Amino acid sequence: MSLDRLAPLPEKFPTADAPDRVSADGLEAKWGQHWEETGTFTFEKDAPREDVFSIDTPPPTVSGSLHVGHVFSYTHTDVLARFQRMNGKAVFYPMGWDDNGLPTERRVQNYFGVRCDPTLPYEENFVPPHEGGEGKSIKAADQKPISRKNFIELCQRLTADDEQQFESLWRHLGLSVDWNFTYQTIGDNARKVAQAAFLGNLERGEAYQAEAPGLWDVTFQTAVAQAELEAREYPGHYHSLVFRTEDGKDVVIETTRPELLPACVALIAHPDDERYQHLFGTSVTSPVFNVSVPVLAHPAAEKDKGAGIAMCCTFGDITDVQWWRELELPMRSVLRKDGRLLAEVPEWITDEAGRELYERCAGKTTFSARKEIVEALQAAELMLGEPKPTQRMTNFFEKGDKPLEIVTSRQWYIRNGGREFTRDGSQTDLREELVSRGQELAFHPDFMRVRYENWVKGLNTDWLISRQRFFGVSLPLWYRITESGDVDYQQVLTPELAQLPVDPSVDCPPGFSEDQRDVPGGFTAEIDIMDTWATSSLTPLLATGWLRDENLFKKLFPMTVRPQGQDIIRTWLFSTVVRSHLEFNCLPWQHATISGWILDPDRKKMSKSKGNVVTPMGLLEKHGSDAVRYWAASARLGTDATFDEAQMKVGRRLAIKLLNASKFALTMDAETHQVALDPKLVTQAVDRAVLAQLAKVVTSATEAFEAFDHTRALEITETFFWHFTDDYLELVKERAYNRDGIWPEEEAASARAALALVVNTVVRLLAPFLPYSAEEVWSWYREGSVHLAAWPTVDEFGEAPAGAELLEVAAQALMALRKIKSEAKVSPKTPILKAVLSVPEASVADLEVIRTDLEKAAVVTGDLVFEAASVEAVEMAEHELGEPPAKRK
């Protein structure tokens, strides 16, 4: 990259052209438009790879509106991007839109009055039956079925408005995104990338299909992956059921799922449980259904839970699946995908009374079937007592509101370490490989690494990527149909890379024609889609041009940093590492920055589902973008922060102070009409001292940013700036004005140069946090953008300035002189007729150096005495105040 834009500039500039009255209002519109017109944040594509800093920006979900949590975390990324840009990096900062998913599907169904049927053909120029308010009242049964391609087009149409609103908010916030680089997770390019990556997984044996029991959401009618689970408390009841042994004795088990009694395949107890060892190898009869089932031993049975012996059904929970698989039990599923019991009486229920009972339950919901079976158990006196209420932790789909069931279905998986995997004929431990990848990745903060490692080590299944939904990327597959008309799922047909993207319900596999669809000897389409993480896990490839712009891809991949929330380490971060490891045998980025959560005043996480979120545009308009950014940047990575408008008010005061102090400091030299940035002009000790302090700030802030600690950089800079305005500026402003000519011009010029140098430095240190106010100040006296200016270095102050401690002593003395007026509740302009300060002996000489500055700053008209004393800081020993100045009428 050419570094011409960061080349040193002249030491003097024309006097600042500041407005008569500065204001933080309206800066967003003024500078946002300017940045867009001038291409301030355009990525420099010609930059060499070593000069590139690339960001795998999180694509926000486009379904509704952004909330203040987005503003919080995206600000963290933006301050980093701005720092790196000022450090000479060509910053690649794209924006994506995650616009596929369940919420969008529901909105489209209600808005347009349609529903997706992936078996239907595409209809050109389709016009939906309803639009807007009318469509919201259309019942599901009355929604018009349309093809997947038509449905996706409507989804894209509805999300387009959301994307425009999101972009408008991001621009108002001041994100320095290059808007030439945007993508959608369901656009044509995203579909091509996702399908190509999947086909690569399939070819290498990393993707496979299996008919197996898995977690299922009965509301959304889709399989759910381990990463999408959310454990929640759920009310239920324990029921004590009586099984009978072959010799007529009772065996009592406790269950919260009596409706699954017809699916019972065994009773299981721990092999060391002495209570049941005599039953192992025998059979018992299930109550009311009268089906004989074995009593078996398994170490996963919990001796101290309930009766210590459990009913194994196919399937009530994950443990049932484990027992079924490891004990080779029969499959007796009775639960359908819609959450209702099978309509036909299962063939294994042969008892007449049992079959009659099942007929009363057939086709009913689990709730209704439970009621029916409990009543039958009570009538037969095969349930002890009444059901006992309990609260239990149950798995939910993170977007669902009903407990997940376990249903057997054919699904597609990608290997992620959940099972053994043989690559190239040799055994490999994929889980250990992925743990090692996590150790290579630099986490910020580092303690977030353990969340990744715990997740990988705790995996017990591979990544289920197929979903029985519609608005997503199609699995690019077809299957042969035998001559007898059966679908042979083992004969998988795949497209050529040049065909991608494909919609199997519309497109044909190579070598087939449309008239062979769904007929004997022909083919049928895979109608499932990939889950949303299967596409989002490829954001580094979508953003950098994989399969689209190979030169750009080589320059940008692997990327520099992935910023994201802590709650999706197990999903987005992990899945992206998996895909990159499998496809390229490398990490997708060098760093991962993890933001915390926003908490409401009750210390609860803000989320749309809880209804406690705050929409950000009102905050940005009320306080100003710089102020809201200040609040966000005040929170460290990985740390939860409370939503706090008071902190935003502090940020606004800081932005206004930057404007006012800068105007004062940059408009001092009326005689030469120049802003002097020449450190050689800084000759006075206290002026050198402020530069010495500033040099330390520059070093510390830079080190903090390089360590991905933006909050520390802000704290250091802000603390210095307030001391500068409250102490140093007040101390030297009379010398800088030098109205009466009591100081030699060299000393006055020293103050003016120091003031200008400080502002010229601080405005750049604060630019990543307060981009609008900083740009406004910069425009008063310099060409170009502060955001393309060089990050400050200590070299700008000439020879290493010394004497930083002098400024601290001066501040103590000034504070002591001010304090007597504030305590007397008189005007700061009230003259001090006499003041005796007790001063540490080593500091007396320092104060003598700045005596005149102190006298003018504190309006000391009489004697000012510095007495050496055994004190740690400057103290007022005695004083005498004059008459306060008359108030203006």
Residues of each annotated binding site for ATP: 608
Q: Considering only CA atoms, which of 262, 483, 505, 504 is closest in space to residue 370?
A: 262
Measured CA to CA, the distance from residue 472 to residue 548 in angstroms comes to 21
Measured CA to CA, the distance from residue 599 to residue 641 in angstroms comes to 6
CB 146 within 8 A of CB 116: yes
Question: Which long-range CB contacts under 8 A does 495-502 form with residues at least 24 apart?
Answer: 495/195, 495/199, 497/196, 497/199, 500/191, 500/192, 500/195, 500/196, 500/476, 501/188, 501/191, 501/192, 501/195, 501/473, 501/474, 501/476, 502/195, 502/474, 502/476
- The angle at the Cα of 599, spanning 597 to 602, to the nearest 5 degrees, equals 155
Measured CA to CA, the distance from residue 566 to residue 73 in angstroms comes to 11
Which residues make up each annotated binding site? 608
CB atoms within 10 A of CB 610: 10
Among positive and negative, which fits the CA dihedral 537, 542, 548, 554?
Answer: negative
- Cis ω for the linkage preceding 501 (within 30 of 0): yes
CB 295 within 8 A of CB 267: yes
Cα atoms in the Cβ-side hemisphere of radius 13 Å centred on 62: 26
Cα atoms in the Cβ-side hemisphere of radius 13 Å centred on 685: 16
Enter the tokens of residue 767.
Answer: 């630019």
The label of the residue with tokens 């000489």 reads 845
CB atoms within 10 A of CB 680: 10
Measured N-to-C along each axis, helices 449-457 and 430-440 cross at an angle, to the nearest 10 degrees, of 180
Measured CA to CA, the distance from residue 497 to residue 476 in angstroms comes to 10
Q: Is 438 helix (H, G, I), strand (E, B) or coil?
A: helix
Measured CA to CA, the distance from residue 100 to residue 97 in angstroms comes to 9
The label of the residue with tokens 């997947």 reads 148
Cα atoms in the Cβ-side hemisphere of radius 13 Å centred on 242: 14
Q: Report the residue count for the chain.
A: 889
Which DSSP symbol is given to 588? S
Enter the tokens of residue 188.
Answer: 């044509």
Measured CA to CA, the distance from residue 456 to residue 432 in angstroms comes to 9
Measured CA to CA, the distance from residue 188 to residue 214 in angstroms comes to 31
Which DSSP symbol is given to 55? B
Residue 562, strand partner residues: 592
CB 258 within 8 A of CB 241: yes
CB 438 within 8 A of CB 586: no
- Cis ω for the linkage preceding 523 (within 30 of 0): no
608: left (phi over 0), alpha (psi -120 to 50) or beta: alpha
CA 412 from centroid of its chain's CA atoms = 27
Measured CA to CA, the distance from residue 516 to residue 670 in angstroms comes to 87
Q: Considering only CA atoms, which of 378, 441, 370, 366 is closest in space to residue 406?
A: 366
Q: Which residues contact 694 (CB under 8 A, 6 or more apart)?
A: 720, 757, 758, 761, 762, 797
DSSP E strands in 360-402: the ranges are 383-397
